Structure 1
Amino acid sequence: DMGGAQSCKHSDDDDDDDSDDSSGSGRSDDSSAIAQEEQGSDAIGAKWFWGHADSKEQAPPDVPDLKLGAATLPFRCAGGSDSDFYQDFAKYVLCPHYLDKQAEGSASGKGCPFLGGTAYVRHADVTRLLSQVPADHAAGTIERGNELGYLLLADASFPSGSLGLGNPADVHRAQRRWIEHLLHPSRLPGRAQWVDEAKSFLASMRQARSFKLRKSAATWWQQMQWKHVLGIALTQQEAADFMKFQSQWLQSSLLSAPAGFADALPASLPHEKIWGLSRLLREQAAYRERILGALPQAVPEEHRGLVAQGVLEMFVFAGGLSVPLTMHCAVAVLFTNHLLPSPVRVDESNVEALVYEVTRLFPAVQGFCFWRDGE
């Protein structure tokens, strides 16, 4: 079963090319508004297709087979038990309406074919299912695995073979307790201090005359995480190095190079672009040791390694990805106001509302997966 908000894509009846644009934007015509119950919980005044069978909106044409074949070649060559999942997920990335096409030919509610499960996207279903997750997980009725949104991460890219979120409930409980302690509001900056941090960052970028929103903001945010969660001051270069590590971990988790493959490459090739799993695990261990030294002394000795690994995964997979992406989307909204179905007006009084709305419409994590009876 899956409970989670799937990112949606706006379509435009007047221009077929626009409706097939993966940017997720298009022009809205109030006269063509579809009833809310027909189109989805948030589709008012515009047409959206969501990836479920009860949508009345027709999906645009499929991505060309040649392009799809070229894009999925690495996944097909990799083989393995998850090769079908990777191929299908590649189709989804290239063509977001892939779920709609699959839903048309399947049983009602089956909207997530590459996981062999059921997708829920309406608000009432999502809130109902998520509210049941804690009790069901504690009771063993459902299980978590190595899922990051819709992605299935390779066991070999983790020292224990599992992402922290996929640990058994008793193990996860010990880890979660101390991560919640580290993230308690009383230990973190207030709003005024965050504003000062952001102003200082932007001033430094202005002085350097070198600012690329996505990369620069993500690097700065890593510095903020390490500083305010652990009390460790990363230099800009150290933060940039951690970003490279983050990228390699993500790549290796999705499509791992065979053992020894990276070491066997000719010296003329840029080895920094391809890390073997052995190097990835060594780098994890080095960062984990640095985190261990900054954990509160009250963390029990038997849990310190587990907590350190959880913090590292948080910096890489959770806050380290989602917060920069949300910042990127929020700024993008300000510069693409004319493309959105509703006008956006931002001032000091509604910045927080803007961030929440951006998070709702462009969720950093596409879906929350869990397993019940093998599905």
Structure 2
Amino acid sequence: MTYHTARRRALGLVSSLALFGALATGAHSQAAPHPGASNAFSTTHFWDDLQLDYLPGDTWERLRDNLQWQDRSHDARVQHWIEYYRGNPSNVVEIIERARPWMAWINEKVETRGLPGEIALIPFVESSFDPTARSHRGAAGLWQFMPGTGDALGLSRLNGYDGRLDVVASTEAALDYIELQAEQWYEGDLELSLAAYNAGAGTVNRARHAASARGEPTDYWHLQLPNETMQYLPKLNAIAAIIADPEAHGVELPEIDDAPTFAKVTVEAPINLAQLATVSGMDQAELSALNPGLTNGSAHPATAEVVLVPIEHEDAVLAHLTAPLPPGPGTGAEQYVVVRGDSLSSIAALHGSSVEEIRQQNGLNGDVIHEGQRLDIPRRSLAAR
């Protein structure tokens, strides 16, 4: 099985040595726009990129249409996990509710690549669909990327941005890496690639060599691997079997529409999430939950490519971001409204200014500011707009 994506071909340039022993996958960083890019803000949602003739409907029906490994449900290990999940239906529902903002979008990405639908459920096993999940070993995000693998794939983790926590970036990178490993090591065998995703390619390759030396099959289901990896695909296949026929397994799945839940706003200038939520009438917690990769609550074009906003607020957000800020009383200044948690240093960093410039512009003798206060920001510091 061969998959052709532009991103996979780009990842082929990554050193296989750097990826060989990785424990988990990594994500691409959200590259900054070209310095000559237009200053006009724009928004897109995932249907803009849809390459299939498909009308929005039910997420679970669409996923069922793409499941390809249902014959594995008879395996004893899969049956064990089916019984486990059946015995904890409330836990299954809780995890699926957490997946609500992302499930339809991930489905679409998996489908456009021609991958088995089961792969859309990997975050169920990896992180319980929690984009902020962190393991004791250092993995983070929906797809549980280890720092080393993320670094090898160009994942940015600086200036208030962590691509491992960015659902858009991490999903694309996870699918890229799964495809890359399948082709590089396993002649397109995605099950072996998923085992390597969990245990590292080195561990899986050594297990295959040992099995071959014993004259045994070298597919995933016959290998001797670490216990966690031995259970990895059975867990994935078990939850897929339940979703394929929830009624037969005594689980009532929450309904999730197969429709856009978020829009992507291009970051052409610094964006403060708290301020954006206030002026656009959004719930700040909801906006932050859609953007877990923005670890300091703001996006800068040097590190983040997009900000996600609830689809129902798309028009209000775009109207705010494209409207010029009112001029301040000082010459050559624009205004910024202080939100909870702001400091002069964070505001200066957000706008490419300095604390001293903001003090001078506003006649401040110290660093004390308060929520709702309007500050004049020197216009030259907003040149990124």
TM-score w.r.t. the length of structure 1 is 0.21
Greater share of strand:
2
TM-score w.r.t. the length of structure 2 is 0.21
Higher Rg: 2
Greater share of helix:
1
